[in-house]
Amino acid sequence: MKTTENTVLITGGTSGIGFEIAKLLSTTGNQVIITGRNQHRLNSALSQLKNASGILGDISSKVDTENLVATIKKDFPELNVIINNAGKAVIHNLLEEEDNFGIAVNEMLTNYLSVIRLNQLLLPLLSEAKEAAIINVSSILAIVPRFIATSTYAASKAALHSYTLSLRTALINSNIKVFELMPPLVNTSFSSEIGGENGIPPSEVAYALLNGLKENIHEIHVGQTQYIYDLYLKSPEEALQAMNQKRE
C-alpha cells in the first residue's frame, strides 16, 4: 500500500492514537481529514497539524455521519483511505454495574456498527480510486478479552475484528485493501482509567501502522500485542489468564 499522496479520513483524530496517526501521515505527503465531536478540541488539533482539515461530528450519529459523507464527496472526492479510529470505552464491572446493557449498546454503536455505516457510505467513493484502503482500529482485546473493567468494550472490538475479516475477504479482488490495527495498552487520556500511563506512547502505534501499510501487513500487531496473539495461538487459556492477571 502506498503511504504518500493519499487523502485520508481519520475518525476521532483530535487526540490519542488518531491524532498521532494524523500528525505522522500529514508530514509524510498525505492530505488528512480528521473528525471530532468537540469544536475546541478539533481546532486545537488542527493548529498542530499540516495538510489537515477538520469536520465536526459524532460518528455514532446517523445524521452527523451522513453530513460527513456529503462533505467528503463535495470537498474531498479524491478520498482513498479511511481510518476508523473513533472509539468509546466505559470502565465497569460485569457483576456490579447496574447498566451493563446500556454501556454495551453505546460501545457497540460507536466501535462496531458506526464503522459499518461509514464504510458502506464511502465504499462507492473508494472504489473510484486507483488504490484505496480501509483501516479499522481494534485492540488485542478483540482476540483475548479482559473481564476487569473493559469486558463489553472487548466484545465490541471482537465484533469489529470479525467484520474486518469478512470485509477483507469480500474486497479481495478489488482495489480496496482492508487492514486492522491492533494496539496494546496505549498511554492516552482514553485509557487513563485502566492504567494507561503504563502503556506505550501513541506515536509508536502510528509508526507501526505506517510500517504495516508499507509492508502490506493486513493485521498489524503493535508491541505487546504480538506476544499475546502468539500465546493465544499456542494456548487460548494461557492467553486469557495472562490478560486477566490482577494489575496493581
Helix, strand and coil in the chain, % to nearest 5: 50, 15, 35
- Examine the residue annotation and report whether 229 is marked as an active-site residue of this protein: no
- Smallest Cα–Cα separation from 153: which of 141, 165, 140, 162? 141
Q: Which residues of 15-28 are buried (b: 16+ CB within 10 A; e: fewer)?
A: bbbbbbbbbbbbee
Cell 457483576 found at = 95
Kindly give the residue spans of alpha helices, DSSP state H, lying in 48-113.
62-75, 100-108
Among candidate residues 112, 153, 163, 232, the one labeled active-site is 153
Q: SS3 for 142?
A: helix
CA distance 132 to 245: 40
* Residues marked as catalytic: 153
